[in-house]
Amino acid sequence: MRETVFIGFGSNVGDRVDFCDRAVTLLSLLPHSQVSGVSLLYETEPVNDHAQPGDGWFLNGVVQLETDITPRSLLTVLREIERSLGRDEDNRSGPRTLDLDILFYGQRIIDEPDLVVPHPRLHQRRFVLMPLNELDPLLVHPTLQRTVSQLLIEAGKQSEVRLLFPQPSTRYGSRPACSPPPGS
């Protein structure tokens, strides 16, 4: 059955825009799936770190995908994409070329050792809630029973999250439903 899935992506090392672009492109090429939304890119202060802007800061965004791929297969696919874009498996908490998380899978609630959906920390992370709020502010979190926009208000402001400016023009040209850049 086709479901609406939200996938968070983030990169904080190397050519971050390029990694994000490639991730979105690979997601848009998945079989039995269609990308129905891509957020703008947000620049995020790393948690537990006092780095300067641009130094270790994350780029984050969210992709909305209509898909028939099961949650478990999707997790496998996301790990393969992370691996193909060079994430260092031995240093998972260090700098990461690309992190991909299943944020929501329709209204499903999954609680397995290696797969928890909705993502257990999404309601605490403004860098996830801001792009989600752009795509679907009225989406209801199935266990917290709050909309994304309510969660964003309640999350408070622990870390700096701002729109990346200027937004890059994508080099891969396959973003089907990209939001227009600010001010256009």
Q: Are 148 and 134 in contact (CB under 8 A)?
A: no
Partner from ligand ADP, Mg ion, none contacting 43, C-beta within 5 to 8 A by type = none
Amino acid at 82: E
Catalytic (active-site) positions: 87, 96, 99, 101
CB of 102 to ligand ADP, least distance (A): 4
* Burial (Cβ within 10 Å: 0-12, 13-18, ≥19) of residue 168: middle
Task: Tell me which residues touch ligand ADP (CB under 6 A).
Answer: 75, 92, 99, 101-102, 114-117, 119
120-159: contacts with Mg ion (CB under 5 A)? none
The residue sitting closest to ligand ADP, measured at its beta carbon, is 114
- Looking at 28, 99, 150, 161, which residue binds Mg ion (CB under 5 A)? 99
CB of 155 to Mg ion, least distance (A): 19
Amino acid at 120: P
Amino acid at 92: R
Rg (CA), the chain: 15
